[in-house]
Copies of this chain bind each other. A is one copy, B any other.
Amino acid sequence: MTHTPGISRPPKDMIEALQEIGAATIAGTLGHMGISHPHIVGPVSWNKGKSIVGPALTLQFMPKREDLYGEGEYTDPEKQLHRHVLYHVQEGDVVVVDARGDMTSGVFGDMMSTYFKGRGGAGMVVDGCLRDYPNLKKLDLPLWLRGWTPAFHTQTGLMPFAVNVPIACGGVTVIPGDIIVADDDGAVVLPVALAPKVIETAKVHHEWEDFSRMKLLQGAPLQRYYPLHQDAFPEYEAWKAGRPGSSG
């Protein structure tokens, strides 16, 4: 029997706290903390407007070697390793696949993805392709991919090789259990250990941003309103006081 390891999941409240923060803020904050490349480059959103946060289950593909990937794979479905990453899916999980950027191998199709959705998976990030878009799109899954292909994953040059091991996906090392934050900007890898500081930094809400945005849209000077110049604080305070619901 094939056994593959599980993952440790971050606490629910950490995931919830991150849900209010977009990928841009997280990547930018990580950048200032010294993490230069948290962005998985290559896979892009195929379901615009969707935003997800969740722990990474990982699936690693390797170049196909016919001596390692035999006939049995077809006759006994349980030997097909890409199924096994799905067996681990819990509510809110994100499946992250290193498909080596290949444009000719469809990692999952309609039925596998239906199962993924049935298990409550949050979304998938694949450095490569899925297959059967005409049917798959009915599931309305959040997906970050390089594209689509009608071919199946071992039809050309890849074979599934390992589940829940560290992988490189789109130029970023992903450790199983890392938090994935993905929206229309792309997918970002947030190490669990850094999440508390990222959440804290994001909390320091620049209350004046709404005010500045309004002024900038009116053509007001960038130098005065972004970042908000000290000379403009009284103006901002007055605006804030005049807003409905303000206690001033």
Give the interface of A toward B (CB within 8 A): 22-28, 31, 34-39, 41, 44, 49, 51, 62-68, 77-78, 83, 86-87, 100, 103-104, 106, 109-112, 114-115, 117-120, 131-135, 137, 147-152, 155-157, 159, 161, 166, 168, 171-173, 175, 183-186, 188, 191, 193-194, 209, 212-213, 215-220, 222-223, 225-227
**CB atoms of A184 and B133 under 8 A apart:** yes
In the complex, what residue of chain B is closest to A65 when comparing beta carbons?
A: B173
Identical chains in the assembly:
6
**CB atoms of A41 and B149 under 8 A apart:** yes
Q: Give, as a whole number of angstroms, the nearest-CB distance from A209 to chain B.
A: 7
**CB atoms of B217 and A37 under 8 A apart:** no
Out of B39, B65, B168, B216, name the residue touching A191 (CB < 8 Å): B65
Q: Which residues of chain B come closer than 8 Å to A26, judged between CB atoms? A: 150
In the complex, what residue of chain B is closest to A102 when comparing beta carbons?
A: B41
**CB atoms of A87 and B148 under 8 A apart:** no
Q: Give, as a whole number of angstroms, the nearest-CB distance from A49 to chain B.
A: 8
**CB atoms of A63 and B152 under 8 A apart:** no
Known: A37-B104, A111-B212, A119-B219. A134 touches B183 (CB 8 A): yes
In the complex, what residue of chain B is closest to A103 when comparing beta carbons?
A: B41
Q: Which residues of chain B come closer than 8 Å to A23, judged between CB atoms? A: 150
**CB atoms of A222 and B87 under 8 A apart:** yes
Out of B39, B215, B222, name the residue touching A104 (CB < 8 Å): B39
List 29 A–B pairs whose Cβ atoms lie within 8 Å, in order of A's numbering: A24-B132, A24-B134, A24-B135, A27-B149, A28-B131, A31-B151, A34-B66, A36-B66, A36-B155, A36-B156, A37-B65, A37-B156, A49-B134, A62-B166, A63-B168, A63-B172, A67-B191, A67-B193, A67-B194, A68-B175, A77-B227, A78-B223, A112-B222, A114-B216, A119-B219, A131-B185, A148-B185, A150-B183, A159-B173
In the complex, what residue of chain B is closest to A155 when comparing beta carbons?
A: B31
Out of B24, B103, B217, name the residue touching A117 (CB < 8 Å): B217
Out of B27, B66, B114, B132, name the residue touching A155 (CB < 8 Å): B27
Known: A209-B111, A222-B86. A39 touches B150 (CB 8 A): yes
**CB atoms of A62 and B173 under 8 A apart:** yes
Out of B161, B172, B213, name the residue touching A173 (CB < 8 Å): B161
**CB atoms of A213 and B114 under 8 A apart:** yes
